Chains A and B, each alone.
Chain A
Amino acid sequence: MDNSSDGSIVSSGEFLTFTLGREEYGIDILKVQEIRGYETPTRIANAPAFIKGVINLRGVIVPIVDLRIKFNLGEPTYDQFTVVIILNIGKRVVGIVVDGVSDVIQLSPGNLRPAPEFGSALDTRYILGLGTLDERMIIVVDIEQLMSSQEMALVEAAAA
């Protein structure tokens, strides 16, 4: 927990879990605006591969990030089951592509175990902890920190 940022410790205790490949992730439900099917975004030139482009969400231009590409998890296939989670990060609206949304679960901070440090694609800075539900391990991500980070290339370098 030491590595997580102080301000964003989740308070609701409710997490939306989704799958990326065979891993299960959880994010604070309060950051989620909506869940929708995948539609082909408009490509943006010179953007990193995990930024699929932008879509029109009822008149708002929303960038779409494919977390599977970002974290090298599973095959980035796009079919009718591919899901986009629209997130509200600060004042921004961002969509993430995941393999599927599974559940909304309750996790108290006590159920979270710190994630071990090692050089994975997902920096432990952005992991709030590992939660256990039945036999499943849920990687609880500080999605706000992650999406605002430099490496997601979603925000202007100078502005960050």
Chain B
Amino acid sequence: MTVDMSQFYQVFFDEAGEHLANMESLLLDLDVEAPDLEDLNAIFRAAHSIKGGSGTFGFTDMTSVTHILETLLDKLRKQELALRPEMVDAFLAAGDVLRAQLEHHQGGPEADPDSIQAVCATLESLATGGPAASPAESAPADTGTGPGAAAGPVRELAVSFDLPAEVAGDPAAVANLVDGFCETVACDVLARPSAEAPRFRAHVTTTFADAELRDLLAFYADAGTIAIEPAGAAAAIQDDSFGLFDDAPGVPVGAAEDDGFGFFDSAPGAPAQAAPPEDAGFGFFDAAPGAPAAEAADDSFGLFDDAPGKPEFSHATPVKPGDSPAAIEAEGYGLFIDAPAGMGLFPGAPGSRTAAAAAAPAASNFGRRASDQPSVEVAKGGRRETDKTVTSASAEASSIRVSVDKVDQLINLVGELVITQAMIADAAGYLDPIQAEKLISGIDLLARNTRDLQESVMSIRMLPMSMVFSRFPRVVRDLAGKLNKQVDLKTVGENTELDKSLIEKITDPLTHLIRNSLDHGLETPDRRVAAGKPAKGTITLKASHQGGNIVIEVLDDGAGLNRERILAKAREKGMNVHDGMSDGEVWQLIMAPGFSTAEVVTDVSGRGVGMDVVKKNIEGLGGRVELESSPGHGTRIAIRLPLTLAILDGMSVGVDGDVFIVPLTAIVESLQPQADDIKTMAGNSRVIHIRGEYLPIIPLTKVFGEPEPAAFDNGIIVVVESEEGKAALFVDALLGQHQVVIKSLEANYRKVPGISGATIMGDGNVALILDIAAVTRIGLDHPAKRMAA
């Protein structure tokens, strides 16, 4: 399925720009001493949204930066780390970098790769090495902070565990696991598991406590086989030189401490000892003898590779693979291993300096190594980008962003204008057509212009759902590749029109839902086959109007939700749950803030952001999220949105002096009944015989508590169809067909049974829009259903 994504770029640019601005203002208002958790959450969500959007459009350079940003923010909002002023600085710098990248994608100058990497390294050092900056732990590398220490300090561990045989036998699954693991903790894989030798051994540098690590690993392997031992400091040095200041005596790094490096191997005589202990983060220095690493310090960034005899080189290129032995280390740093999730900052293999250089300006497919055909991907990404630069430049000029309030105001004003025009036309009807000829022709012209104006204004707001849906094939494809899953994405009801503001606001929630479905819902192909399902999963996106609501559904045929696991997790979180909860209540739990049953935080999902944001966003629109799940068969998530401003094609009918709108979609036909066709059933119920079918007659007056009409021969039968089946509505007259703007009755009043909303007619009066399903229910008079209606 090919979709031209470029038409949506502008939307992303606008959104990302907004998120960035929002993030910045929140950051600037943040109280470092006592940060408001809600603000941190808001910043996190902004970063998360940018990540999601950039991932969707393949701007992976932005994705990688936001991912790192998000990792640190996540720790802050979970209060694993305390906020420090330098973090705010780093966040702001990251915001600047993202903005530069955004501008680059919009055709601006390329973002400075140095500052990008500087920012990434700072953020990472703050996230992972943060605790190491406290005085007691300023030089942990050579002492190897005791294994008994609580969670927090960076520790080096030898980790090994057995993989289940069926997983170990599958190279793709192994690669996935290993990459996933390495993304979560910095690790150096010593032995990759295979079918013959299912034991996985790795050298891990982490801040996790043993118990946390075990929990993490339990996802991969049988808990019984996990072994975690502190690694010897010497071994660490030998193995990968990880995190060590590999200095020779006399290296002038004295000035380098400005911005913090945690891991100094303070060899005798090295000025590095002068490093102030409060410095943030850590640094990876590999200063060859005599290299003036000092210059590089200003930028507070992690990776230095100073070759001897290059005094002018400060921090222009943090890693030049192949340039010196240090390049090998770049590979070895667990933090920079290119993970499948696009984490990798250094796509070049050691020695392939050109590859790195080529990939960097393209700035597109960084680190998407895990996808099956990286070379194809990169080429594609590069080309797209140039295409897009051209289109976005023109798109910028041809669209403006206007606040929805202004559009609403415009729509209301035009509505008033239409009414005024109708009044003038009415008044002019009394004039002598010959004397007032000019006036009357002017009024006719006014009528036409007003109608055109109204149509144009209305069309501003309405967009088809395909605007949203067509974003997703790409998301699904990329994600499926990352997760090694096979997915078929189906979309239904793309032409359902939705108000623009709603379209904008459901895009993010829908993206979350689809990512969730893919990541948590669908199983891997082998598991699917084992469960007797086709290897290829299906995700269906469906939009429809239902009972006065717009329903957008995300359906998958995956494993379904795991009730036990959700309950267990909820208990762990101290939520108020009990075993007697209905499934529906249990499913609602997953929409609690911070709730995630995923064991591993990945680029895709598992941070527990998402469902709560989805719920918050949808409820903000006056809608609700419904979850249905059946174990082994899949999950259905439905977003039900009220028709706040959707336009409806309707037939206006007159009943006893009142005007009602019947949605055209519900109308099958309308006819003038013949007395012979109407039969009575059980005395007072009437049915009409239409082409071999007997349909119940529902007089609208009865629905609304008025007496039934005495006779049925002087009126019109409107045959309607809804989820309640077919019925024949009896009305006094058909008045006309209109496009009506649906107004909410509930905004100022309340829900009325049988009514889905209201609209304003051309004469300024209010007409109520019928909810045909509810009307049918009431009309057929099932007492129980009547209560529900």
Contact A60 B743 (CB under 8 A): yes
Shortest distance between the CB of A40 and any CB in chain B (Å): 8
Known: A41-B766, A54-B749, A56-B765. A46 touches B705 (CB 8 A): yes
Q: How far is the CA of A45 from the CA of B753 in the complex (A)?
A: 9
Contact B758 A61 (CB under 8 A): yes
Binds A, one of B142-150, B247-255, B409-417: B409-417
> A42, A62, A159 — which one has the most chain B CB atoms within 10 A of its CB?
A42
A93 touches which of B416, B659, B748, B768 (Cβ 8 Å): B748
Q: What residues of A have a CB within 8 angstroms of the CB of B764 in the complex?
A: 56
Any B CB within 8 A of the CB of A136: no
B752 touches which of A46, A55, A59, A92 (Cβ 8 Å): A46
Task: Say which size band chain B's interface belongs to.
Answer: 20 to 34
Which residue on chain A has the smallest CB distance to residue B415? A59
* 610-631 of chain B: CB within 8 A of chain A: none
* 46-65 of chain A: CB within 8 A of chain B: 46-47, 53-56, 58-63
Task: Say which size band chain A's interface belongs to.
Answer: 20 to 34
Shortest distance between the CB of B256 and any CB in chain A (Å): 58
Any A CB within 8 A of the CB of B747: yes
* 14-54 of chain A: CB within 8 A of chain B: 41-47, 53-54
Binds B, one of A96-104, A108-116, A123-131, A150-158: A150-158
Which residue on chain B has the smallest CB distance to residue A155? B750
B748 touches which of A46, A60, A159 (Cβ 8 Å): A60
Shortest distance between the CB of B445 and any CB in chain A (Å): 25
A54 touches which of B415, B416, B659, B745 (Cβ 8 Å): B745
Which residue on chain A has the smallest CB distance to residue B746? A156
Any B CB within 8 A of the CB of A94: yes
Q: What residues of B have a CB within 8 angstroms of the CB of A47 in the complex?
A: 752
Any A CB within 8 A of the CB of B583: no
A-B contact count (CB 8 A): 71
Any A CB within 8 A of the CB of B195: no
Contact A58 B412 (CB under 8 A): yes
Q: How far is the CA of A54 from the CA of B757 in the complex (A)?
A: 12
Q: How far is the CA of A96 from the CA of B325 in the complex (A)?
A: 83
Which residue on chain A has the smallest CB distance to residue B703? A45
Shortest distance between the CB of A86 and any CB in chain B (Å): 10
Q: How far is the CA of A55 from the CA of B764 in the complex (A)?
A: 9
Which residue on chain A has the smallest CB distance to residue B414? A59
Q: How far is the CA of A58 from the CA of B659 in the complex (A)?
A: 19
Q: What residues of A have a CB within 8 angstroms of the CB of B768 in the complex?
A: 42, 44
Any A CB within 8 A of the CB of B733: no
Any A CB within 8 A of the CB of B219: no
Any A CB within 8 A of the CB of B658: yes
Contact A61 B658 (CB under 8 A): no
Q: What residues of A have a CB within 8 angstroms of the CB of B706 in the complex?
A: 45
Contact A42 B748 (CB under 8 A): no
Contact A45 B748 (CB under 8 A): no
Q: What residues of B have a CB within 8 angstroms of the CB of A44 in the complex?
A: 749, 752, 755, 768
B705 touches which of A45, A92, A156, A159 (Cβ 8 Å): A45
Q: How far is the CA of A42 from the CA of B758 in the complex (A)?
A: 10
Contact A154 B749 (CB under 8 A): yes
Shortest distance between the CB of A47 and any CB in chain B (Å): 7
Q: What residues of B have a CB within 8 angstroms of the CB of A155 in the complex?
A: 750
Contact A153 B750 (CB under 8 A): yes
Any A CB within 8 A of the CB of B754: yes
Q: How far is the CA of A93 from the CA of B747 in the complex (A)?
A: 8
Contact B747 A42 (CB under 8 A): no
Q: What residues of B have a CB within 8 angstroms of the CB of A94 in the complex?
A: 748
Q: How far is the CA of A94 from the CA of B747 in the complex (A)?
A: 10
Q: What residues of B have a CB within 8 angstroms of the CB of A54 in the complex?
A: 745, 749, 758, 766
Could you jot down 20 A-B contacts, CB within 8 Å?
A41-B766, A42-B767, A44-B749, A44-B755, A45-B704, A46-B753, A55-B766, A56-B765, A56-B766, A59-B412, A59-B760, A60-B743, A61-B743, A61-B744, A61-B748, A63-B749, A93-B748, A94-B748, A154-B750, A156-B746
Known A44-B749, A61-B748; further 19 A-B contacts with Cβ < 8 A: A43-B658, A44-B755, A45-B705, A45-B754, A46-B752, A47-B752, A53-B766, A54-B749, A56-B760, A56-B766, A59-B412, A59-B760, A60-B743, A60-B748, A61-B744, A61-B760, A92-B747, A93-B748, A156-B746
